[in-house]
Chain A
Amino acid sequence: MSHLLALTMAAPALAAVVLLAIPGTSRTALRVVSLIGAVISLAGSIWVATLYDRALGGLQLLDTVPLVPSLGIHLKLAVDGWGVALLLLTGVIIVTGVLASWSVAKRDKEFFLLLLVLVSGVYGVFISQDLFIFFLFYEIAVLPMYLLIGIWGSSHKVPSAGPFGFTWKRFEVGSREYAAMKLTLMLLVGSAAILVAMFLLWSNSGARTFDMQVLEATKFPIAVQHVVFPLVWLGFGTLAGVFPFHTWSPDGHASAPTAVSMLHAGVLMKLGAFGVLRIGMVLVPDAAAWWAPIVGAVAVVNVLYGALCAASQKDLKYIVAYSSVSHMGVVMLGIATMNAAGWNGAVYQMVAHGIMTGLFFALVGLVYERAHTRTIAKMGGFAHVMPVVAGFFTLACLSSLGLPGTAGFVAEFMVFAGAAKGASPWWAIPGVLGAFVTAVYVLRACKTIFWGPAPVDEFAHLQDVQRTEWAAPLVLGSLLVVFGFWPKLLLDFIDAASQGYLGRLPIVALAQAVTP
């Protein structure tokens, strides 16, 4: 099956096309078609994983269609080990995301349509081996978010204060339109930087090509690399929530509807980190090595600062959103270590955090849908009425704080080990501290929401998980545990890619020469 990757990528988009033909009134049909598209893509991802030869490593399942040959643009799809892991993540999140959005009532046709288009973009990014196509898919993945948040999101009030309080006149800070606009603009500023970096690579590649394999083999002048790397880092980094360009994330994720938060925090933020890793680290390794200390230092800020911010939040979704900022810091930290443990950990953390945060947002959505509040202080004793939610929420919390036996531990441990072994061992300290702060805020939230005396009045009859709502907790929760106990399932893929790319890094070559 030579076009397996293309099929996996296109399945959701094709489902979206089918949706166009279905009248908006046949609501079940809309959902079923969306689900079929999602499931096909997941099945495709799994198939890809089975076909991928882990021992061989490298790029596999190559599929090329020339698109604009005169400019060196080809639709070149292939997958490496990292890609396999992230494809699986995407598949799982979209399937559960569709099921979690079963109850979307408002303009559901458009909702599923945009959701599916977005996911096709995400798949595309992970399998593109042409920089240009990579960017193209990246944009597709980023843009529908504007409408998804702007239309289906939720608003709340943020009081104006601080030296910039006067800007509140112009912006309705906290409203879904504000969140959507801020998210989109910040991410697109990022993609503007990426575009410039792309041009630089393309024009300096000698061959004037966007083919990533050719670019990998090219040794770019160090001056070019030093311009490209920061552009890539901050460009993609904005999506990965790199401090101080992370502020779209709390508002965006807090305002977004459930499935969108799941996808955005679960998968899209990983696109950013994946970009930094795949393009920044692999294509311009010399500059990357020079910049790595800065990337790592900023990542460390992310971890600790994000966790502290999360600890100060009173709104449940904001807590989860800031925890994403913190956890993506772990990913970036792993990337900055530039060694196998760190990179494996970074990619593993992408998957682990994707699943964990997907689970979080699914559950938060469930709670919000029933209780109509996200203010933690107003909740209490929910475990009496929704024990299943409570249980899975606790599981997500545990993965979040890196408890062994959950995927979060394996990831964080590898990242910290990589950091400790790397050039700046001190990175591990704030990293671990961040994990402790995480333990504080997630468990406090968990306690306040779910524990305590049985709720009275309006919360007394909240329902527990129903029908399709089971999907997200069950699938994501069990994956957290499975990947926590049996990391080999994914690590084999991830490690294959890390080894391959690391072998090309100048510093690794150096280190191998020095140490026997």
Chain B
Amino acid sequence: MNAWLQVFSLDFAVAALALVVLALDAFLRIPGRVLGWLTAGVLASVLVASFFVDTSGVVPHGVYESGAWVVFFKRLFLVAGLLGVMGSIDWLEERTPRRQAEYYALMLFSLTGMMLVPGARDWVLLLVAFELMGIPLYVLAAWAKTDGPATEPKLGPEAGLKLFVTGVASSAFTLFGLALVIGETGSTALSALPVQLTPLHTTGMLMVIGGLGFKLGAVPFHMWVPDTYQGAPTPFVAFLSVAPKAGGLAAFSVVMLSGWAQHVAVWGPALAVIAGASMVVGNVFALPQTDARRLLGFSGVAQIGAVLLAIAANTQEGLAMALFFISTYVFTNLGAFLVVHAAAQSSGGHEVSMLAGLSRRSPWLGAALLVFLLSLAGIPFVVGFWAKLFVFLAAWRAGLSGLVILAVVVAVLGLFYYLSVARSTFMAEGTSSEPIRAGLGVRLSIVVCLLAVVGLGLWPRPLVDEATRAASAFMQKH
């Protein structure tokens, strides 16, 4: 096998799996549920394999760069994909039994795109990978008319369209900006910017930021977030709310910190504004939400603001902390969405008020949701606290103390709505008292998330070390 093929072995495995799933469905009529578990199993094996396969080879022409940085992200995506797939199995079986293979395949394609992003050092590869990650999501967002009961509005098409329109508008801007940057520089290498920038460079760079910001759901490119989260199938949203964000973060870091690090004066303020606006808007808009998915959507906008804070720090420590943050966010948010999903399947709606009595019906689910909410709120002894703390510390050290204070203040608003959800879960009297029925996949995913959130909350060091290693591997090369 060629050395550079080995570099991409994980990515190829995932892409191949997508094809295999399609083929198995088309030719052998393998039941969807089996395909789902197969997908999950292979993803798990790939994840395990990532610890044994050496992917540190060199790729010709410098378009791709392997190393600890890339591996960190790939594992993260694989975990997110694995959890997302497991969370979807039962729902798919129930709702769209005849279209299961496509769902998995699309998710795997998106995953492939994601896995290529962090290593990309050339605009062409980055753009293609980024779009490969993004386009399947449009389709998946509109996968079903609705995932709730028939009484809920059928928002599937709308979810897809909103994601799509903002997405293509953003990518048009990205393309436009790239055209300016690449045209002016004359090279598609990420690191090819001159020391002295022309106005065209500057304009182009900022437009690219706008385009990338869409995937992260940062303000002002966040408008799709609540609507899509509300309309798309919740198990998918669980995946959508974390994995592409990690992908977006990877793209952001690759662009900002590898190629453009020297020009932090250009993008730094813009990023700071986006970060601040995201935290404020996300938290304020989340306050009046009554739909758990929209609420989590806006809360996600606010969380992304915190990650961008760390990127804006433009230091290795900041990057490491951003990695740590996004990793914990994957577990936390995915878990939260899956609990909401499980509860909604049993109680017939995604309203926060529908969570009433959850802790009585299924104490463990209630406790899990509480843990996830506390983690999102940044409360000690669950991992979200460390994530927020590390990010704030890094930003503070980089001189962004004003933004940190802003973040701390708006975090209080966050507490209000997180606690409101907890209130429904724990204090309100529910109408039903029968236990929540959740599929094995969902339960397994939630347990993994819970273990991660609590375990890392008690002992965050391994992940911090890992993130630091990845970040330093990345920063030392650039």
Given a CB threshold of 8 Å, the question of whether A touches B is answered with: yes
Set of chain B residues within 8 Å of A139, measured between Cβ atoms: 379-380, 385
21 contacts between A and B (CB under 8 A): A67-B461, A70-B468, A135-B380, A136-B381, A139-B385, A140-B380, A140-B381, A147-B426, A150-B426, A176-B427, A177-B423, A180-B423, A181-B420, A185-B415, A185-B419, A188-B415, A189-B412, A192-B412, A196-B408, A199-B392, A199-B396
A residues 66-121 near B (Cβ < 8 Å) are 67-68, 70-71
Q: Which A residue sits closest to B317, measured CB to CB?
A: A70
A residues 242-289 near B (Cβ < 8 Å) are none
Among the listed A71, A184, A189, which residue makes an inter-chain contact with B419, where contact means beta carbons less than 8 Å apart? A184
Given A71-B393, A185-B416, A199-B404, 20 new contacts (CB under 8 A): A67-B461, A68-B464, A135-B380, A136-B380, A136-B381, A136-B385, A139-B379, A140-B380, A143-B374, A146-B422, A147-B426, A151-B426, A177-B423, A185-B415, A188-B412, A188-B415, A192-B411, A195-B392, A196-B404, A199-B393
* Contact yes or no, A203 B397, CB < 8 A: yes
Set of chain B residues within 8 Å of A70, measured between Cβ atoms: 464, 468
* Contact yes or no, B427 A150, CB < 8 A: yes
Question: What 1/0 mask marks residues of chain B from 272 to 293 whose CB sits below 8 Å from any chain A CB?
Answer: 0000000000000000000000
B460 within 8 A of A: yes
Question: What 1/0 mask marks residues of chain A from 20 to 41 whose CB sits below 8 Å from any chain B CB?
Answer: 0000000000000000000000
B444 within 8 A of A: no
Complex CA gap A330/B160 in Å reads: 62
Q: Which 4 A-B pairs have the closest CB atoms?
A: A192-B408, A139-B380, A136-B380, A150-B427
Q: How far is the CB of B367 from chain A (nearest CB, A)?
A: 9
B405 within 8 A of A: yes
Complex CA gap A151/B412 in Å reads: 21
* Contact yes or no, A181 B419, CB < 8 A: yes
Chain B: interface secondary structure?
helix
B residues 388-437 near A (Cβ < 8 Å) are 390, 392-393, 396-397, 401, 404-405, 408-409, 411-412, 415-416, 419-420, 422-423, 426-427
Complex CA gap A196/B389 in Å reads: 11
Complex CA gap A135/B386 in Å reads: 12
Set of chain A residues within 8 Å of B385, measured between Cβ atoms: 136, 139
Set of chain A residues within 8 Å of B411, measured between Cβ atoms: 192
Complex CA gap A140/B468 in Å reads: 28
Complex CA gap A184/B423 in Å reads: 12
Q: Which A residue sits closest to B363, measured CB to CB?
A: A110
The interface size bin for chain B is 20 to 34
Q: Which A residue sits closest to B394, measured CB to CB?
A: A71
The interface size bin for chain A is 20 to 34
Set of chain A residues within 8 Å of B427, measured between Cβ atoms: 147, 150-151, 176-177, 180
| Contacts A136-B380, A136-B381 given; does A185 touch B396 at CB 8 Å | no
| Contacts A146-B422, A184-B415 given; does A203 touch B381 at CB 8 Å | no
Complex CA gap A189/B410 in Å reads: 10
A residues 185-216 near B (Cβ < 8 Å) are 185, 188-189, 192, 195-196, 199, 202-203
Question: What 1/0 mask marks residues of chain A from 113 to 152 whose CB sits below 8 Å from any chain B CB?
Answer: 0000000000000000000000110011001001100110
B residues 187-244 near A (Cβ < 8 Å) are none
Set of chain A residues within 8 Å of B423, measured between Cβ atoms: 150, 177, 180-181
Complex CA gap A203/B422 in Å reads: 35
Complex CA gap A177/B397 in Å reads: 39
Q: Which B residue sits closest to A133, measured CB to CB?
A: B380
| Contacts A136-B381, A192-B412, A203-B397 given; does A68 touch B460 at CB 8 Å | yes
Q: Which A residue sits closest to B408, measured CB to CB?
A: A192
Set of chain B residues within 8 Å of A195, measured between Cβ atoms: 392, 408
Complex CA gap A143/B411 in Å reads: 15
Complex CA gap A70/B423 in Å reads: 37
Q: Which B residue sits closest to A192, measured CB to CB?
A: B408
Set of chain B residues within 8 Å of A188, measured between Cβ atoms: 412, 415
The winner among B380, B401, B416, B464 for most chain A CB atoms within 10 A is B380
Complex CA gap A195/B380 in Å reads: 12
Set of chain A residues within 8 Å of B405, measured between Cβ atoms: 196
Complex CA gap A177/B428 in Å reads: 9
Q: How far is the CB of A153 from chain B (nearest CB, A)?
A: 9
Q: How far is the CB of B404 from chain A (nearest CB, A)?
A: 7
* Contact yes or no, A192 B409, CB < 8 A: yes
* Contact yes or no, A143 B379, CB < 8 A: yes
Question: What 1/0 mask marks residues of chain A from 330 to 364 whose CB sits below 8 Å from any chain B CB?
Answer: 00000000000000000000000000000000000
Complex CA gap A202/B416 in Å reads: 28
* Contact yes or no, B419 A203, CB < 8 A: no
Q: How far is the CB of A334 from chain B (nearest CB, A)?
A: 30
Complex CA gap A192/B385 in Å reads: 12
Set of chain A residues within 8 Å of B426, measured between Cβ atoms: 147, 150-151
Q: How far is the CB of B322 from chain A (nearest CB, A)?
A: 16
Complex CA gap A196/B408 in Å reads: 8
Complex CA gap A300/B460 in Å reads: 44
Q: How far is the CB of A162 from chain B (nearest CB, A)?
A: 23
Q: Which A residue sits closest to B460, measured CB to CB?
A: A68
Q: Which B residue sits closest to A203, measured CB to CB?
A: B396
Q: Which A residue sits closest to B427, measured CB to CB?
A: A150
Q: Which A residue sits closest to B388, measured CB to CB?
A: A195
The winner among B405, B419, B426 for most chain A CB atoms within 10 A is B419
Set of chain B residues within 8 Å of A177, measured between Cβ atoms: 423, 427
Set of chain B residues within 8 Å of A135, measured between Cβ atoms: 380
Q: How far is the CB of A235 from chain B (nearest CB, A)?
A: 11
Q: Which A residue sits closest to B415, measured CB to CB?
A: A188
Set of chain A residues within 8 Å of B401, measured between Cβ atoms: 199
